[in-house]
Amino acid sequence: MKNRVQALVGAQWGDEGKGRVVDVLAGNADVIVRYQGGANAGHTVIAGGKKYIFHLLPSGMLYPNRICVIGNGVVLDPAQLKSEVDELSPAPSEIGTRLVVSCGAHIVMPYHKKLDLLSEAARKKLDSGSHIGTTGRGIGPCYVDKYNRIGIRAEDIVSPKILEKKLRLNLNEKNPVLEKIYRESPLEFDEIYEDACEWGRFIAPYLGDSTLEIDNALRDGKSVLFEGAQGTLLDIDHGTYPFVTSSSCVAGGCSIGGALGPGRIDRVIGVVKAYCTRVGEGPFPTEELNDTGERLRQGGAEFGATTGRPRRCGWLDLVALNYSVKVNGLDVIALTKLDVLSGLDELKVCVAYRLNGSETDIFSNSAEKLRETVPVYRTLPSWKENISGCRKFSELPQAARDYVNFIEESTSIKVGLIGVGAGREDTIIRDF
Ligand code: IMP
């Protein structure tokens, strides 16, 4: 089968509309895998007229019979997972047969969330330019513990004795930080331990070996879709550091957090919004701090699915996109929210950056350099028509087709799918 293993990644700063593209692809995938990030993600899918926002569950849960895997690279908030499982209509026993949580996924503990918020507040107080604008979901501190080799993994919360030992070790380190650095009260062992044991009882039926699950599926001739969260420019290594999340959002992250050798990935899909948005702090060269930005925000309902924060909005940045093409090795682009551009007087697309008096089309992920960068725009004709009813590329107005063609010419990557509205059916499938 062609494209049996696919990786789907956000090609910008997250919120590209990955959930709805996964939703389209999940119909033909047997196994869907989340491989990084945690409940900082918010994947919105509208199916059957109902809106679902998944923070942890792979979007493929909406399709019956799909195996959904939460890989070892994910940081897992069990209370959040429980509320998502509870919200799905099928009985939990049905979910149990198709949700697999890797034993190696790290657990987001209450102290991670607390430290996330405290650290952000302290940075903001010290120097307003140094806080990240995190989602406050404890993501960074949880990954810190993972790499510091003190983290508590999913397999630990189902073993009360191991959990007790590890939790005591952690509180022994965290409480002095809370008390001495942040002047906060120490956390009580008993309460966290009780909660974590409860989480363990909830998670036990879902625990599994995600490596084996994926490998077995491939041996059985099944297809696998890796569902990325956040986006390339928020990647811990390749994003606009330090204004990034703490995981590997790029396609290579599948191999680490989803346990599949890179050579086994057949196709990498980059999800690209027809304009750009960013939540939180950090440089954003094409940001429009004016009516255009507001128009995009309202038209695209650009408010965070996790935090509700208004997203910063601006024009499509092809310099950044071409960087994303390289870093991920994109094979095809899924372009979302093209309909949001309908009715604008003109469309601008960033084709180069001006930095220190010279022009470049090379993206630097250095936050300092990017801050100094001035975008160079190409203005393209706009269209007034409502395009939400279009189902074929040929039905789009000429200016909309030109916009898509311009992206293809500038990136040398085919735009295989185009989102023209919020619903599952509002999609133009070209060569996908
Ligand atoms: P954290 O992932 O909560 O640590 O936040 C780090 C940065 O990534 C902040 O700027 C967040 O706004 C951003 N971020 C995290 N998750 C998402 C997401 O799913 N979409 C968009 N931005 C995100």
CA of 279 to the centre of ligand 1 (A): 7
Q: Which residues of 264-294 are buried (b: 16+ CB within 10 A; e: fewer)?
A: ebebbbbbbbbbbbbbbbbbbbbbbeeebbe
Query: What's the rounded Cα separation, in Å, for the pair 66 and 178?
Result: 43
If you take atom 20 of ligand 1, which residue's CA is the nearest one?
A: 14
Q: Which of 234, 248, 303 to mutate to test the pocket of ligand 1 (most atoms within 8 A of CB)?
A: 234
Query: What's the rounded Cα separation, in Å, for the pair 73 and 87?
Result: 24
Q: Is the CB of 247 under 6 A from ligand 1?
A: no
pLDDT score for 42: 86
Query: What's the rounded Cα separation, in Å, for the pair 173 and 169?
Result: 7
Query: What's the rounded Cα separation, in Å, for the pair 182 and 416?
Result: 50
Q: Which of 332, 330, 317 is nearest to 362 (CA)?
A: 317
Q: What is the dihedral of CA 205, 208, 213, 216, to 10 degrees?
A: -100
Fold of 106-205: Adenylosuccinate Synthetase, subunit A; domain 2 (1.10.300)
Q: Is 409 helix (H, G, I), strand (E, B) or coil?
A: helix
pLDDT score for 260: 92
pLDDT score for 62: 83
Q: Which residues does the chain have with pLDDT short of 50?
A: none
Residues of the chain with CATH 3.90.170.10: 5-93+209-429
pLDDT score for 61: 86
Do 354 and 376 form a contact (C-beta atoms < 8 A)? Answer: yes
CA of 306 to the centre of ligand 1 (A): 9
* Three-state secondary structure readout of 157-204: HCCHHHHHHHHHHHHHHHHHHHHHHCCCCCCCHHHHHHHHHHHHHHHH
Ligand 1 atom nearest residue 279's Cα = 12
Query: What's the rounded Cα separation, in Å, for the pair 410 and 320?
Result: 12
Query: What's the rounded Cα separation, in Å, for the pair 306 and 245?
Result: 14
pLDDT score for 67: 94
pLDDT score for 306: 81
If you take atom 9 of ligand 1, which residue's CA is the nearest one?
A: 134
pLDDT score for 431: 83
Residues of the chain with CATH 1.10.300.10: 106-205
- 153 pairs with which residues across the strands? 106
Q: What is the dihedral of CA 243, 245, 250, 255, to 10 degrees?
A: 150
CA of 198 to the centre of ligand 1 (A): 28
If you take atom 12 of ligand 1, which residue's CA is the nearest one?
A: 280
CA of 430 to the centre of ligand 1 (A): 31
Ligand 1 atom nearest residue 15's Cα = 20
Fold of 5-93+209-429: Adenylosuccinate Synthetase; Chain A, domain 3 (3.90.170)
Length of the chain, please? 432
Query: What's the rounded Cα separation, in Å, for the pair 388 and 406?
Result: 20
Do 111 and 174 form a contact (C-beta atoms < 8 A)? Answer: yes
Ligand 1 atom nearest residue 139's Cα = 4
Q: Which of 238, 279, 311, 313 to mutate to test the pocket of ligand 1 (most atoms within 8 A of CB)?
A: 279
If you take atom 8 of ligand 1, which residue's CA is the nearest one?
A: 245
Residues designated as active site: 15, 43
Task: Give per-residue pLDDT as tens, 214-263.
Answer: 999 999 999 999 999 999 999 999 999 999 999 999 999 999 999 999 99
pLDDT score for 130: 86
pLDDT score for 206: 95
Other Cβ atoms within 10 Å of 382 Cβ, number:
17
If you take atom 15 of ligand 1, which residue's CA is the nearest one?
A: 40
